Amino acid sequence: MQEREKKRDALRAAGVDPYGGRFPDVEAAADLRARADVCDIPAGEKLPDFTARIAGRITLLRDIGKLAFLTVQDRTGAMQFGLSRADLGDAQWAVFKQLDLGDIIGGDGIIGRTKTGELTLWLKTLTVLAKALRPPPEKWHGLTDVELRYRHRYVDLFSNPEVREVFRQRSAIIHAIREHLVDLGYLEVDTPVLQPIYGGAAARPFTTHHNTLDMDLYLRISPELYLKRLLVGGMERVFEISRNFRNEGISPRHNPEFSMIELYEAYADYNVMMERTEGMVAAGIEALGGGFIRPYGELELNFAPPWRRAKYADLLGEHTGLDVKDTSGVLERAKQEGIYQKLTKMIGDGHVHVRPDHAAPGSLIDHDVLVNELFDMLVQPHLIQPTFVYDYPASICPLTRRHPEDPSIALRFEAFVAGMELGNAYTELNDPRVQEEKVMDEDFVMALEYGMPPAGGLGVGLDRLVMLLTNSRSIRDVILFPLQRKG
């Protein structure tokens, strides 16, 4: 670092600003490459009339005496600069001598190809735009220490092109989904992140406080209750790309703050929401290119619609041989798997509620809770190809409309891919008197009393979708600044 500060001072002493300002009309390296490709420049030739201006960070520097080659990287790729002491003049050559890997420079010159055919910008003028005081990571391995990659993501980004590519793809996916929904007549909205009453999911919130109002507030765990108010207000198709905050554990699939796209469509139901899920994912895939069949780790996933649709009860039977309504059979299996023992141990902690009316004789745990645990343990890991699991046990889905012919079934689906939950949807409950029993938010109930159109609602985890489409193992690889403990 001391050496670099000396060079910075040397530049200043020579009247060169080491932190240059505006540098207009820079061409992207990829655009220049395309422009050059149509010219058929022979190896070893320079075209005196083909001028260009490029800017970026120095990633390679080879000084071979009175001639030097630099590789400069911009957002679109790399471009080689050629510097000749004879052409540049002593003053500019002296400037070059103060450069290091990692510095950001601009170059004006003419295009040519070297003996080996590499496209090269032969500089007439060199402009220092930012002197880097810290060296970049090693050129061959880049930055691989995951802790440093997350803590200093800027280094990760400029030294690892594949990381930049993942986040470019993330942007493309979200942009495509947004356009897809807008094309369907959806309005994009923003609802409160700071909520006096939290709801819409079962998770512990982060709490905060507004000083002037002297009011406790929660960071939202879901935008759901606000988006439904908008349905009442006549906004019949709305979506929000919502950062949600859940004060829960961290894992390769969970970050405390994460992005979800949530949408509501009046007069639709959960079947329509299955199509919306397929449509959004297809739009994301189309933006990336490469087709519906995509690698994910050792797996090969086929996102081509329509995805498999399977009833919760049928899948349970398929993978466990159990009948959902067989309370004693489920209890026995739950004991075999150790689930029952685990749950009864947790009753004291208040995490598990005892509901004898829904339990098998002699069981302390609600039947549907046992079923759900069995499902998570024995069925979910097998849901590799995109699958809509629908018609859930009603007791584990309070905000969902019941099946008209079977009140024990909720009109809900979850989308699973690679054994991971990707989305969750309902045919929404719009009866205020039923809702009232289950929600603390009086204003929300009042909204329903004014009449909410029947609707389908859907939430898709955007980080997880980006993981699946970019073949990323960890949610931290698709979130720019994942939460880290204070280092």
Partner RNA sequence: GAGGGCGUAGCUCAGUCGGCAGAGCACCUGCCUUUUAAGCAGGUGGUCCUGGGUUCGAGUCCCAGCGCCCUCACCA
Contact residues toward RNA (CB under 7 A) are 3, 7, 44, 60-67, 69, 80, 82, 84-86, 100-101, 114-116, 118, 120, 134-135, 137-148, 150, 201-204, 246, 248-252, 254, 342, 346, 351, 376, 380, 414, 421, 424, 473-474, 476, 482, 484-487
Contact assessment for residue 145 and residue 136, using Cβ atoms and an 8 Å cutoff: no
In the complex with RNA, which residue's Cβ is closer, 266 or 414? 414
What tokens does 415 get? 């989308």
Q: Least Å distance between CB 154 and RNA?
A: 13
In the complex with RNA, which residue's Cβ is closer, 101 or 235? 101
**CA gap 261, 153 in Å, rounded:** 25
Q: Least Å distance between CB 259 and RNA?
A: 12
Q: Least Å distance between CB 201 and RNA?
A: 5
In the complex with RNA, which residue's Cβ is closer, 39 or 293? 39
Name the residue type at position 284. Answer: G
122-127-129 Cα angle (round to 5): 130
Q: Least Å distance between CB 39 and RNA?
A: 17
Q: Least Å distance between CB 253 and RNA?
A: 8
In the complex with RNA, which residue's Cβ is closer, 144 or 210? 144
**Nearest alpha-carbon partner for 265 in 412, 424, 457:** 457
In the complex with RNA, which residue's Cβ is closer, 266 or 423? 423
Q: How many CB atoms lie within 10 A of CB 309?
A: 12
**CA gap 485, 469 in Å, rounded:** 28
Give, in order, the Cα–Cα distances in Å from 153 to each of 105, 149, 163, 224, 365: 22, 5, 10, 32, 46
Q: Least Å distance between CB 308 and RNA?
A: 17
By CB neighbour count within 10 A (0-12 exposed, 13-18 middle, 19+ buried), where does 256 fall? middle
In the complex with RNA, which residue's Cβ is closer, 185 or 249? 249
Q: Least Å distance between CB 449 and RNA?
A: 26
Give, in order, the Cα–Cα distances in Å from 224 to each of 394, 402, 425, 460: 19, 19, 11, 12
In the complex with RNA, which residue's Cβ is closer, 429 or 460? 460
**CA gap 371, 359 in Å, rounded:** 11
